[in-house]
């Protein structure tokens, strides 16, 4: 399906609809549409295979992973339907001089700018809490996933939401600034690259509107000498190769202590060689094509440049159109593209270190700060040093992953603000303080 962009005038009409609906329902914002959100979850699960095929067809994700993405989207709907009232209930205070209420009131129309790599999940984790908080939502989705974008709007309508609650804004990215500047738009949430994030946050800053940015990452996956090797390898494989490595929270740099390095490398290489690359619609496929040929070309350039600078390719490294072989590079150093930049594909960079201090330094020496994994059998000891990591999350003996129950987001160039959990639903509300003198 070729993307049919709408004009800026048509987009403004959609903003008008979103604004009028917001105003109409403003007085009853604390009656949250939980049943309709549960209905959204039901539709997602009922038509799971249909939606999974749309995802795989548009961006190449193996269909078993697309199914998992739909299930996770449904889970987040039910999680917020169950918990939104508690997360947003009034807080009451009383002193000798006054009674006070802290109330979470919706902002109005909120813009989401979303990426293609998890074309359903990213949208649901933004839109569901934002709507339950009483806002209306317009989403400019990535240009290479138009069917996913339209399917999501259709789901909200099928679930019984009034037109205007959730609208797909099929716009070119050059028009996004005009949408942010529109007086009806009260805030914007972007998940995407640093470049897009910087542009969106600059426009929002110029017109003094709030923004939440979920950007890229170059997560380290640290393996200490005392780690359980089999468990670590299994998690390391998942951390790097899910979604063919096209994930912000994927482990991109494996920092492995010298005492376990050789054993880790041997097993990791064996497992990587066994990955099956192929048709995303074949249920046995582990690695599909990258979402676009230019993305595979970018990865190829990062690898070639790093090899010129001294890194060694010990597995893979070949590209065929949008397919990039699962690959392993060793001897990478700070300054090389595969170390400093985000690598968005099936490439594992494995680096040896001596002691914990060196691991911390290597882990922190990129501009990103989304998350880090630390594998060790002595969590108690490592926990004492977790504050040394400049990250939005630290996962012990687990790959970094998002969970509706926990806040998710980054620091440094990985962005700001949080999604999911109580923190996520409070991003697009006015925390109002109401004081009644005694
Ligand atoms: P992208 O190129 O930044 O695109 C993301 C969205 O922003 C798309 O809708 C895109 O529209 C739009 N966009 C691009 N340039 C823009 C601009 N100058 N102004 C306004 N909007 C603009 O990113 P992507 O390639 O789709 O996604 C991959 C990136 O997202 C990676 O860096 C990944 O790490 C990051 N990501 C982060 C998270 C997280 O939670 N932290 C999650 C997933 C992905 P068009 O498609 O029309 O260009």
d(CA 286, CA 270): 15
Nearest to 216 by CA among 236, 238, 245, 194: 194
Provide the pLDDT for residue 71.
98
Provide the pLDDT for residue 192.
97
Write phi, then psi, for 112 (nearest 5 degrees): -110, 135
Query: Does any ligand 1 atom lie closer than 6 A to the CB of residue 365?
Result: no
Separation of 32 CA from ligand 1 center, angstroms? 30
Specify the fold of 8-215+414-437. Aldehyde Dehydrogenase; Chain A, domain 1 (3.40.605)
Provide the pLDDT for residue 95.
97
Listed by start position, the domains of the chain span 8-215+414-437, 219-403
E strands within 340-403?
A: 347-353, 372-375, 394-396
Question: What pLDDT, in 10s, does the model give residues 161-191?
Answer: 999 999 999 999 999 999 999 999 999 999 9
Q: Are 193 and 215 in contact (CB under 8 A)?
A: yes
Alpha carbon distances (Å) from 305 to 84, 337, 338: 48, 7, 9
Query: Does any ligand 1 atom lie closer than 6 A to the CB of residue 117?
Result: yes
Query: Does any ligand 1 atom lie closer than 6 A to the CB of residue 135?
Result: no
d(CA 250, CA 244): 10
Residue from 48, 58, 69, 214 carrying the catalytic annotation: 214
What CATH homologous superfamily does 219-403 map to? Aldehyde Dehydrogenase; Chain A, domain 2 (3.40.309.10)
End-to-end CA distance of the chain: give it in Å, rounded. Answer: 64
Pairing assessment for the beta strands 312-315 and 327-330 based on DSSP bridges: antiparallel
Does residue 77 have an active-site annotation?
no
d(CA 289, CA 327): 14
d(CA 3, CA 9): 18
Alpha helices per DSSP H over 169-241: 176-181, 194-206, 229-241
Give residues with Cβ within 8 angstroms of 163, minimum separation 6: 17, 21, 157
Alpha carbon distances (Å) from 207 to 19, 149, 185, 212, 227: 18, 27, 11, 15, 50
Provide the pLDDT for residue 4.
87
d(CA 398, CA 71): 21
Provide the pLDDT for residue 1.
54
Rg (CA), the chain: 23
Strand-pair partners of 253: 220, 349
Low-confidence ranges of the chain (pLDDT < 50): none
Chain mean position to CA 158: 26
Handedness of CA 299, 121, 43, 161 (dihedral sign): negative
DSSP 8-state code for residue 276: P
Provide the pLDDT for residue 54.
98
* Residue with CA nearest ligand 1 atom 43: 248
Dump the DSSP string for 388-409: GS-SS-EEESS-----TTS-B-
219-403 and 8-215+414-437 share a CATH fold: no
**Mutational pocket test of ligand 1: of 111, 121, 173, the residue with most ligand atoms within 8 Å of the beta carbon:** 173
Provide the pLDDT for residue 3.
73
pTM for the full predicted model: 0.97
**Mutational pocket test of ligand 1: of 192, 211, 291, 420, the residue with most ligand atoms within 8 Å of the beta carbon:** 192
Does residue 375 have an active-site annotation?
no
């Amino acid at each position: 399906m070729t993307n049919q962009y709408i004009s800026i005038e048509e987009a403004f009409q959609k903003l008008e609809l979103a604004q009028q609906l917001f105003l109409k329902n403003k007085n009853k914002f604390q009656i949250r549409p939980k049943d309709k959100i549960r209905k959204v979850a039901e539709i997602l699960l009922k038509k799971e295979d249909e939606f999974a095929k749309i995802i795989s067809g548009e961006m190449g994700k193996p269909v078993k992973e697309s199914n998992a993405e739909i299930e996770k989207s449904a889970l987040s709907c039910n999680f917020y339907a169950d918990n939104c009232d508690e997360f947003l209930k009034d807080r009451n205070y009383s002193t000798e001089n006054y009674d006070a209420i802290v109330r979470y009131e919706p902002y109005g129309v909120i813009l989401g700018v979303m990426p293609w790599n998890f074309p359903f999940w990213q949208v649901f984790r933004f839109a569901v809490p934002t709507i339950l908080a009483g806002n209306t939502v317009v989403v400019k989705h990535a240009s290479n996933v138009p069917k996913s974008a339209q399917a999501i709007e259709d789901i909200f309508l099928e679930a019984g939401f009034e037109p205007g609650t959730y609208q797909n804004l099929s716009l070119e990215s050059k028009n996004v600034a005009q949408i942010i500047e529109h007086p009806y738009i009260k805030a914007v949430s972007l998940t995407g690259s640093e470049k897009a994030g910087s542009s969106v946050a600059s426009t929002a800053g110029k017109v003094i509107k709030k923004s939440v940015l979920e950007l890229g990452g170059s997560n380290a996956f640290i393996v200490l000498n005392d780690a359980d090797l089999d468990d670590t390898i299994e998690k390391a494989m998942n951390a790097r190769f899910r979604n063919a490595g096209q994930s912000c929270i994927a482990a991109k740099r494996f920092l492995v202590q010298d005492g376990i390095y050789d054993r880790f490398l041997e097993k990791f290489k064996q497992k990587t060689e066994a990955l099956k690359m192929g048709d995303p619609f074949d249920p046995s496929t582990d690695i599909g094509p990258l979402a676009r040929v230019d993305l595979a070309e970018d990865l190829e350039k990062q690898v070639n440049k790093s090899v010129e600078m001294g890194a060694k390719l010990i597995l893979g490294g070949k590209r065929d159109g949008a397919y990039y072989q699962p690959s392993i590079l060793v001897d990478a150093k700070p300054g090389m593209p595969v170390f400093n930049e985000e690598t968005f594909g099936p490439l594992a960079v494995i680096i040896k270190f001596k002691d914990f201090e060196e691991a911390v330094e290597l882990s922190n020496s990129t501009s990103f700060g989304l998350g880090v994994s630390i594998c060790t059998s002595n969590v108690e000891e490592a926990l004492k040093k977790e504050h040394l990591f400049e990250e939005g999350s630290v996962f012990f003996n687990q790959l970094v992953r998002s969970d509706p129950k926990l806040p998710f987001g980054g620091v440094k160039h990985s962005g700001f603000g949080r999604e999911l959990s109580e923190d996520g639903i409070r991003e697009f509300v006015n925390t109002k303080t109401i004081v009644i003198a005694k």
